[in-house]
Amino acid sequence: MTHSKDAWLAPVEYSDEQSTDLIVYCGDGRFGTAIESFAKGRLGLPRCARLVVPGGPVCLAGETPPFYEVKTGAAAQFYFLVDALKIQRVHLIAHDRCAFYIQKLEVPEANLRQRQIEDLKKIASRVRHDRPNLAVDSWVAEVRNDTVAFLETPTQ
Ligand SMILES: [Zn+2]
The per-residue pLDDT for 64 is 46
The average pLDDT across 58-82 equals 70
Residue scoring higher pLDDT (89 or 72) = 89
Spell out the domain ranges in the chain.
Answer: 21-153
How far is it, in rounded angstroms, from Cα 93 to Cα 32?
11
Instruction: Say how many Å lie between the CA of residue 2 and the centre of ligand 1.
Output: 37
Instruction: Say how many Å lie between the CA of residue 138 and the centre of ligand 1.
Output: 15
- Residues within 5 A (CB) of ion ligand 1: 26, 28, 98, 100
pLDDT, tens digit (0-9, with 9 covering 90-100), for 11-64: 999 999 999 999 999 999 999 999 999 999 999 999 999 999 999 999 888 654
Instruction: Say how many Å lie between the CA of residue 85 and the centre of ligand 1.
Output: 25
How far is it, in rounded angstroms, from Cα 21 to Cα 88?
6
Query: Which CATH number does 21-153 carry?
Result: 3.40.1050
